[in-house]
Every structure is written in structure tokens, then in C-alpha cells.
Amino acid sequence: MTLVINVGLLLLGTIAALAAFGGETWRKTDEPLLKRITSRGWLALLCMLATLGLGVAKEVRTNKAAAEAAIREQELQTKSDQMNKELGETYTRLKRTAAELGETRTKLAAVEPNLLQAMIVATAGIRRESDFTTPHLRGEASITLMSGRRTDEPLVLFGGDMIDYTVFCNEGSHRFPALGRTSGAPRLILSVGGTDYPLNEHGRQMVIGPIGTAMRAVLQNPQRLSDCTLKMLIESADRTREAAQIEPLLKMIREARQDSDTH
């Protein structure tokens, strides 16, 4: 719309100038003013009046657009101020939350080491499953038992370990807890640290030996029992076997205490 008004002003100004150019716009007589104006003069006068009207309309329109732009700018400024205020409040809350988290972390750093050490001390004498093994007999005279928890490592037992075991033998497609249905009394013997423990179909046996000393376990099969499986579960209260796992935890406790003391 503004472009149309500007073009109109240019056309009217040009026509008015051309109408007055090279000719008389009024007669030099004693007649009344309106009768002295020539056709060329009326054309120029009308173009000038139209130019004036369009100019006034353009200024009114421009002022209105400027006022609307000022209102929009004020609204945007108000919204911007509100957003900045909200961002400032959010930043303040985040700083307060970070400070609270820092205080909580400091408190936990002071408490957690004591809790962890208390847990280790409280559970030091509790028996728990520490290892297992499931060898399958194929007529061998003896088998070195392998650890079920540590791949490709032999099973080691400690004095005071409790063994819970069951022997399963197959007969055709059936499996039953037994040492085989053959003549005589085939027996299996568990050898640990120079001590032999005869095994029945199932039972529970404590290992005799020095506490804290690892002893390899060997299963003796004097009757060359075949197609049988021994399932053995070891429970222990000796933490020597778990020293490698506990040491990182103890190290973490010491480091946490040092950090707590420095802060």
C-alpha cells in the first residue's frame, strides 16, 4: 500500500508540473479568480490538491504504523524483561540446589566410609556361597576340581569351609542321586590339603586345615565310577579368598575419608 501511495504522489506531482510547464495557468484580466483560471491551471491545481491529500494520508498511515511498532516493541521488551527475570530466578534456584547437593555429598562422604567399613566388619563371620564346582566323571582315577566362579582356575578351599554336595549318576535316560548301582560300594574321595573325605550320595562336610591358606581340591575315583556328576557348593566365612575383591572397596573407603578430612 505504501508503494502505491508513493507512486501516486510521483505521478500527480509530475502531471501538475507538466500542466504548468510552457503555458498560462490563469488569465491576466479583471475577471473573478475562478474565471481567470485556465484548463491547464485547473489540471495543475487538482493534481496539487490530490498530492496534498495523498501526502497527508501517507503521514497518517506512517504515524499509525510507527505507533503500532512502538507498542509491539514495548510488548516484546516486557516479555524479554519477564524472561530475563525468570532466567535469573532459575539460575538462583540452580545455584542453591548445587550448593545443597555439595553439602549433601560432603555429608555422605563423611558417613559412607563408616557404613561400608561397618558392613565389612558385621559380615566378616557370616558364611556365604564363595564357589562351586560340577565335575563329570568318565572313569578317571582322579580329577583336579576346577572353580565355577573363576574360569580355567583350580578350585581352592580353606580351613573352615563348608561343603554341601550331591552325586548324581545316570542310568539310561534317568538320573538319580547315587554313587552307581554296581556291585560293591563304589566311593568317591575328596582330597584337600593332605586330608581325605569319603563322599556319600549327598552330605555336608567341613574342611579341616589352616585358616587363610589356599588348598587345592582333588576328587579321587578309586572305583573308576563313570557317567556321574558331582555338584558341590562351597560356603565360607574366610575373607582371604575375597581379599582381591575387598581391597578396592577398602581403598575407596580410605580415599573417601581423606577427601572428607581435606574438605
**In this predicted model, which residue has the larger pLDDT, 50 or 98?**
98
User: Residue 183: its pLDDT value, please?
Assistant: 46
User: Residue 63: its pLDDT value, please?
Assistant: 83
Cell readout for 50 is 490530490
pLDDT category at 105 given cuts 50, 70, 90 is: confident
The Cα angle at residue 109 between residues 104 and 114, in degrees rounded to 5 = 125
188, exposed or middle or buried, with CB in 10 Å at 0-12, 13-18, 19+?
Answer: buried
**Over pLDDT 90: what percentage of the chain?**
23
At 150-201, the pLDDT tens digits run: 888 999 998 888 999 998 887 654 555 555 444 444 478 999 988 999 988 8
At 27-73, the pLDDT tens digits run: 666 666 566 667 767 777 777 777 777 777 778 888 888 888 888 99
For helices 39-122 and 243-262, the axis angle rounded to 10 degrees is 120
Amino acid at site 172: G
- Please name the fold of domain 129-236: Jelly Rolls (2.60.120)
